Amino acid sequence: MPKTKKVKKIKITKKIKQKKIAIKKAKPLNKVKTLTEPKAQAPLKLVNKNTYTPEEKIEIKKIKKQATEKRLYEVKDFVVYPKHGVGKIVSVEKATIGQIDIQFYKIFVEKEKLTLTVPINQQSNLRPISTINQINKCISILKTKPKIKRTMWSRRAQEYDQKINSGKIYELAEVVKDLNKNSDIIADQSYSERQLFEKAYERLKSEFEAVLKISPEEVQKKMDKALGRNQIISEEA
């Protein structure tokens, strides 16, 4: 009888040991599952935080600095302020506003007898005057026929005004061409049409003067010839 008891005890202990081994083997499986979750998220964190290397960041800063330095204007330079046209930088001055030192341009717009103050950090509002090639392209635009639009005048007037104040010389030339009062298509003009035409004409004329460096009379002759205004005036005379 005592022998049989020993055999039973041995069998029970073996079963307990087997269960413990099974439990130990099962635990690593849970650990593997928990480890796979952060690995799936790791690449997203790396992409968001480290878009550029430190060397690339330094290079980008250099490029930005060079770009801003190239856009700096000097005294006596001609620039275009979209809402007022061509102006000349008369001085570069400094001022302290709220304990902050600010540099700004003093720009004199001769046509409007107006002096503008433009901070250097806002010089994106300015553009350099056009090149001779751009002026030649404007002359070719003035020689083309005006576009006929069937929309209401109030809407067209708004579009013309936006083009005039855009600061883009080609759009300015298009307004002058479309509102040319001596063309066959636009025989009679209203007061508002004449105002917009004269505004666009003077803006374009002032830029022609600054680029070509010729007298206002010579610029006017060149523009009127491209618009066909000289022929009409001579025929009337």
For residue 127, list its beta bridge partners: 80
Query: Is 80 inside a domain boundary?
Result: yes
Q: Inform me whether the pLDDT recorded for 56 exceeds 80.
A: no
Classified as helix, coil or strand, 173 is helix
Q: Inform me whether the pLDDT recorded for 35 exceeds 90.
A: no
Query: Is 66 inside a domain boundary?
Result: no
- Is residue 110 located within the same domain as residue 155? no
**pLDDT for res 99:** 79
Mean pLDDT of 13-29: 57
Query: Is 194 inside a domain boundary?
Result: yes
Residue type, 2: P
CA distances from 175 to 60, 101, 169, 178, 192 (A): 40, 41, 10, 5, 13
Q: Inform me whether the pLDDT recorded for 135 exceeds 80.
A: yes
- Is residue 143 located within the same domain as residue 117? no
Evaluate if pTM is beyond 0.75.
no
Rg of the chain, C-alpha, whole Å: 38
Classified as helix, coil or strand, 188 is coil
CA distances from 15 to 94, 133, 178 (A): 91, 97, 101
Classified as helix, coil or strand, 129 is coil
- Of 95, 128, 161, the position where a domain reaches its end is 128
- Is residue 40 located within the same domain as residue 78? no
d(CA 214, CA 225): 16
pLDDT per residue as tens digits for the range 174-233: 999 999 976 444 445 688 999 999 999 999 999 999 999 999 999 999 999 999 986 544
Mean pLDDT of 79-99: 90
d(CA 210, CA 226): 19
Residue type, 22: A
Query: Is 10 inside a domain boundary?
Result: yes
pLDDT band at 237 (very low <50, low <70, confident <90, very high): very low
pLDDT band at 47 (very low <50, low <70, confident <90, very high): very low
Query: Is 65 inside a domain boundary?
Result: no
Residue type, 62: K
d(CA 53, CA 46): 12
**pLDDT for res 25:** 54
Domain carrying residue 115 = 71-128
Query: Is 62 inside a domain boundary?
Result: no
CA distances from 72 to 59, 69, 104, 221 (A): 21, 5, 11, 34
- Is residue 203 located within the same domain as residue 220? yes
**pLDDT for res 170:** 95
- Is residue 114 located within the same domain as residue 141? no
- Is residue 34 located within the same domain as residue 94? no
- Is residue 79 located within the same domain as residue 139? no
Cα–chain center distance at 7: 91
d(CA 148, CA 6): 114
d(CA 98, CA 79): 29
Neighbours of 174 (CB within 10 A): 20
- Is residue 118 located within the same domain as residue 149? no
**pLDDT for res 52:** 64
Looking at residue 221, which CATH number applies to its domain?
1.20.58.1290
Angle between helix axes 191-212 and 153-164 (nearest 10 degrees) is 20
Query: Is 64 inside a domain boundary?
Result: no
Looking at residue 100, which CATH number applies to its domain?
2.40.10.170
Domain count within the chain: 3
Q: Inform me whether the pLDDT recorded for 150 exceeds 90.
A: no
